[in-house]
Every structure is written in C-alpha cells, then in structure tokens.
Structure 1
C-alpha cells in the first residue's frame, strides 16, 4: 500500500500544490498517508500562485500555508509514489534520481498519460483547466492507491 506521496511540477507554486492539497483531502481517511509536493526548479519559500490559491479555495481547499520546496534525493527516497505533471518532469527525475524508477508516474497515467499544462503566468482559465485535469487524474489514482 502507498503511504507516502510526492507531487511534482516545475516551480511548486501552481500544479503540484493543487495535486498535493487535493490528494491530501482525498486521503483524509488514511491516517498514515503523507502527501507532499516539490518542484524541479522550485521558487523556494514562495507561496502558491494567487490564482492557484483562489481556484483551490473555491473548491474547498485552503493552501495558504504552502511554501515551495526544491525536490531532493531524500524526498524521492522516502516516497512510495511520485506523481508528476508532465513528461519533462518524469525525464528530469529519472535522470537525476535513477533509483526512483518504478515509483514515478505521470499524474495522468490512467488518462492515456495525459499531462497537466502549466498555468503559470497565464489567465485564470488556465488555472481552472489545470484544476479540472488534476481532479480527474487524482480521482483515477484513488482507485489504485
């Protein structure tokens, strides 16, 4: 059974916080589940993007405490499942942390390996689409974990 989850995007301020907080909410009935997020090029210490916070808040999630973190070897080593937003993240992690193979998957794996497009510096509609794609993907994973 998976107990430690890591959700990864680029800056750790848009997509991965959405995935982290949503997955955390979906796993609330599992007291041993730990859900974190990080970025491959994180804006370390920054809060989630204001539009990401807004979209999450409108969907019942408060991510105001989120602060961006850079992915590292320990995070990978302690994760049972690493969910990434696009193929570039998957390649980067495999290249930098080869021991991660088999535990790193596209969040949209069960949606024909769909990627979640980066909404950073785009209009609100891009954040709403990223949210919808993340919800659909996380819900698919819930039947597997």
Structure 2
C-alpha cells in the first residue's frame, strides 16, 4: 500500500501544501494513511501563501495552520511515496536521500506534465497549479491508489 505520501515542492508554501491538503481529504478515513509536505528549499516556518489559502478555503479546506518545513533524509524515510511537482525536484530528492530512488515520482507522471511554481505569479498561476495538482491526484488515484 502506498498510503504514506510526502508532497514536495521548492518552498513548501504554494504547491505542496495544496497537494497535501487535497490528498489528505481524499484519504480521509483510510486506515494507516499519512500525508505531509516539505520543500527542497523551504521557507521554514512561513505559512502557506495567501492565494493558496484562499483557493483551498473555497474548497472547504483550511491551510491556516500550515508552516513550511525543510525536506530531510529522515523525513523522506517515513514515506512510501514522495510526489514532486517538477522533474528537477525528483533529482533533488534523490540527491538528498539516495535510498528513496524508486519511491520518488512526479505528480504529473501519468499526464507528462510538471506543476509550475505559482509563487509571486498572481492568482491565475495558482489556479492553474491547483488544476494540475488535482489532475495529477486524479491520475494517481485511478492508476495507483485504487489498485493498492
């Protein structure tokens, strides 16, 4: 079962907190499920970006308690699957934790896309990122989680 999932982006204030919250909602009630997030260059201690908080709030999800944290080998070791937003993040995660190779996948793997960083790009960029995150989660749900 791949029910322990770590979402990773750069700063851990935009994409990965949204992905974490959405997947946590999808996994609600699933025994043994654990979903968290971190950043390869986290803005440690910062809250989720305001645009991310607003978009998630519109979906009934509260990101107000989120605080960015740095990705570490110890953190990675506690997860079955590490989902990154961009192909470059995959290489960064594997450099931080070589033992994670094989457990690190790009969220857009099945659709062949990256989720571009919306940081300081305005609300439309956040809306696009969120749509891609949802598409990636839909793909993983269909191809991975429903069969595991």
Residues in 2 aligned to 1:83 and 1:53: alpha-carbon distance in whole angstroms = 21
Residues in 1 aligned to 2:23 and 2:3: alpha-carbon distance in whole angstroms = 12
Residues in 2 aligned to 1:110 and 1:58: alpha-carbon distance in whole angstroms = 27
SS in 2 for 1:94: helix
- 1:43-102 CA-to-partner distances (Å, cap 9, x unmatched) read 111100001100111122111110000001111111100000001111111122110100
Corresponding position: 1:131 with 2:127: no
Q: How many residues align?
A: 144
- 1:87-134 CA-to-partner distances (Å, cap 9, x unmatched) read 11111111221101000000011112x100000001100000001000
> In structure 2, what is the equivalent of residue 50 of structure 1?
50
- 1:22-48 CA-to-partner distances (Å, cap 9, x unmatched) read 000011130310000000000111100
Q: State the TM-score, normalizing by the size of structure 2.
A: 0.94
Consecutive unaligned residues in structure 1, runs of 5 or more: none
> In structure 2, what is the equivalent of residue 105 of structure 1?
105
Corresponding position: 1:118 with 2:123: no
> In structure 2, what is the equivalent of residue 8 of structure 1?
8
Residues in 2 aligned to 1:115 and 1:29: alpha-carbon distance in whole angstroms = 29
Consecutive unaligned residues in structure 2, runs of 5 or more: none
Q: State the TM-score, normalizing by the size of structure 1.
A: 0.96
SS in 2 for 1:46: coil
> In structure 1, what is the equivalent of residue 30 of structure 2?
30
Q: Say what the alpha-carbon RMSD is for the aligned residues.
A: 0.8
Residues in 2 aligned to 1:107 and 1:76: alpha-carbon distance in whole angstroms = 16
Residues in 2 aligned to 1:91 and 1:126: alpha-carbon distance in whole angstroms = 24
Residues in 1 aligned to 2:95 and 2:70: alpha-carbon distance in whole angstroms = 16
Residues in 2 aligned to 1:81 and 1:97: alpha-carbon distance in whole angstroms = 13
